[in-house]
A and B are shown apart, each in its own frame.
Chain A
Amino acid sequence: MEKVTIETMRAMMRLAGFEWSDAELEALRPLVETNLRLLDRLEAASPRTIDPSTQYRLF
């Protein structure tokens, strides 16, 4: 996974409608990088054809 830059974070944040300072984004960056590393592994884990689960065994 490529390193997450402040520029990338700023763009995503604005797309989501938030306005956080660069200092806040910098503080968040390690957590975001850890999370994205974890999520990257899911790409390989799940077949694309499987139905996403949202609810369970409704009778």
Chain B
Amino acid sequence: MENRPLLYTVNSACMLGLSLVLVGAFYFQYGLGETPCPLCLLQRMGMFGVLVGLALNTAFGFRQEHAAVIIGAALVGGSFSVRQILLHIAPVEGEPAGYGSAVLGMHLYTWAAIVFLTTIAGTAVFLCLTRDEPAGTVRRPTPFDRGALLFVTIICLANALATFVECGAGACCENGPCP
């Protein structure tokens, strides 16, 4: 049984959805002037890891290895999120709770943890609905698939440039490059 084309469209829609989360992070960075913290940048990298797995599905068809990539990247990114949640779980009296702005009552790193958990759950559903394409398969992506893949690549390039502008070539500290 072949995989339904609709599943590939959903896969690309997930790529776009996750990319929009990263665009939202840019809104906080440039629209609200909140410089991303080092752990925030690492969580973005976890999302790019997930996006690589989804892109592999787009380019080479559904494979269990690609699902493993997605789950692994989500676990790594989720670990970064949980680390940041735990850092701010007990706010100091008189100081603002958490780091950065909250959206619907939760900070961005909490939302990131939810995104990674949802990714793992979604991948479990995909594993039930899809079958492995034969080894060596190279798909001919639809224009929508190609657009999603190109958009993700552009967002990744934008993140590289933004991080270089913020921190230069080295590690980032709280408000820019480390001394």
Q: Are A and B associated in one complex?
A: no
Q: Chain A: residues with CB nearer than 8 A to chain B?
A: none
- Which residues of B come within 8 Å of A, CB atoms? none
